[in-house]
Amino acid sequence: MSIFKRKNLNQPPPVDPAKLEVPKGPKIFYWAAGIIILAVIALGLLATMRKVEVDQVGVRVTKFGFGIFDTGTDKAKSLPPGWHPIIPYLHQLVVFQKNIQTFEMTSKSGGIRQPDNPSLEIRTSDGYKVNVDITIFYRVMEDRANRVLANYSNDQDIKSRGIQAKAPGTIQTELGKMATADNFYDSRLRTAKLEKAREILNNYFNPQGIAILDIVVRDFEFPEEYEAAILRKVLAEQLKRVQESMALAAAAEADWKKTIAQGDRDAMVERARGSSDAVKLEAEGQRGKLVAQAKGKAELANALAGPGGSVYVGMEYLKALKGLELMVLPSGKNGLNPLDAGAMVRSLEPK
């Protein structure tokens, strides 16, 4: 006997699991998720930005390169002023002051000069001691900032482990080479010794990325019992130099006056020579004028002696008589009648 199960007409038909589809969310959800991810990335990058000020130079060191980036201070990159990305745990940023720094060696307190080291005690070759106040000017070399980081951790480290450890001894040695204590009054000798010390210090510090710009003696003091004697000696030498300078000036003034006198004499000679030449030229001109006049008179006489000369004279004579209304005529055998033009012309003819 077969048993038949009654089919429930309200039951939905079975569904094949392979044909099931997950309903898709709206597209705006994916756009919102993308924007949020980008915003998180942008905020993360913004959080890594670090600023290097205008008076600073930065050094970015890569601590973990993962086989892609170079690591270590030798491969560190110098950063100019501005904003730069520094990723935490991956990078390290160290900044140094790049403007001019000072290192003060003085035993005097107070004022704007804060001492970094006591005054130097210099023992000269003649056995005397001189206390010297000195200022060193230095700065970090921007193109070698990574070398600074390889040797020093910060600005104070440069001053304490660098300048203070090396500079005082070098300067003390060079200034101690002065023959006598009173040589400190000679600025040329002081400058020469300090320049030599600066050269030695730069040979040491330049490979470390530090440049020594200048070394200046601010003040120096002698022992009281020696200072008066030195001062008298120095004043005597300065007086001698002044007298030598005055003698040179007097000699120069004599040469100058001699040159002026020579110039005046030459000028007088030239003026006299010019006056003589002018008189000579005037005489020659006058003589030429007289020669020309004589020559003209001779040519006129020759012209009048020619065939047409008598006629020309007669015509000129008639012009002279024109306009006369009254004339008194001479009488007698030797009288000359001016109205007889022919007789007048014959009288003018050369015999």
pLDDT higher than 70, residue 84 = yes
For the chain, what is the mean pLDDT? 75
pLDDT, one tens digit per residue, over 173-231 is 998 888 777 777 788 888 999 999 999 999 999 999 999 999 999 888 877 767 666 66
**101-222 CATH pick, 3.20.20.140, 3.30.479.30, 3.40.50.10800, 3.40.140.10:** 3.30.479.30
Q: Are 115 and 72 in contact (CB under 8 A)?
A: no
Question: Which residue has better confidence, 99 or 229?
Answer: 99
What are the C-alpha distances in Å from 119 to residues 82, 135, 185, 201, 250? 40, 10, 18, 18, 44
Q: Are 152 and 237 in contact (CB under 8 A)?
A: no
CA distance 40 to 46: 10
Q: What is the pLDDT of residue 168?
A: 94
Strands 210-221 and 120-123: unpaired
Q: What residue spans define the domains of the chain?
A: 27-96, 101-222, 229-292, 306-321+334-351
**Residues near 327 by beta carbon (within 8 Å), at least 6 away in sequence:** 338, 339
Q: Which helix (H) or strand (E) holds 303?
A: helix 224-305
pLDDT higher than 50, residue 165 = yes
CA distance 87 to 301: 126
CA distance 136 to 283: 84
Average pLDDT over residues 31-58: 77
pLDDT, one tens digit per residue, over 119-133 is 998 887 777 788 899
Q: How confident is the model at residue 1 (pLDDT cuts 50, 70, 90)?
A: very low
Number of Cβ within 10 Å of residue 175's Cβ equals 26
pTM reported for the whole predicted model: 0.54
User: CA 319, 320, 321, 322 torsion: positive or negative?
Assistant: positive
Read off the tokens for 65.
């390169």
